[in-house]
Amino acid sequence: MALNPEDDLRSFELRAEAQVQRTLQLRAELEAAEVTVRSPGGEMTVRVNSAGGLADLRFHPESDGLSRDDLARLVLTTSRRAQAKLAERVGELTASMYGAGSDTAAFSRPRWA
């Protein structure tokens, strides 16, 4: 069977285009990713955006009896839980797109975890 350079080139182009499309899809999904978490006692709800930054904070009546210090600690703890869930979500997105053992998934682990 003779090798056809044009077929090889076309095959490479198709694989490269497929990779570009997967990357663009992952980028869009990562940019849209956000996580909302409610504190264990229901005192507040936090939402973090795709960068892990606080995007929304809602206090509920259960927070009325908390001191400022307790409230501050709870905001930080709940935000960290939301960020951890976001890191899990990023890992899931990356693994579903490229495979759990891929270089891309390995790259995202230290960055987002």
Strand order in the sheet with 54-59: 35-38, 44-48, 54-59
Give the residue numbers spanning the domain of 68. 5-112
Q: What is the DSSP letter of 53?
A: -
pLDDT digit string, tens, across residues 80-94: 999 999 999 988 888
| pTM exceeds 0.75, yes or no | yes
Write the CATH number for 66. 3.30.1310.10
pLDDT digit string, tens, across residues 44-88: 999 999 999 999 999 999 999 999 999 999 999 999 999 999 999
Based on the structure, what is the number of domains in the chain?
Answer: 1
The alpha carbon of residue 83 and the mean position of all alpha carbons in its chain are separated, in whole angstroms, by 9
pLDDT digit string, tens, across residues 3-58: 788 888 999 999 999 989 988 998 999 999 999 999 999 999 999 999 999 999 99
Pair type for strands 44-48 and 35-38: antiparallel
Q: Which residues does 97 contact at the CB level (< 8 Å), separation at least 6?
A: 22, 25, 26, 104
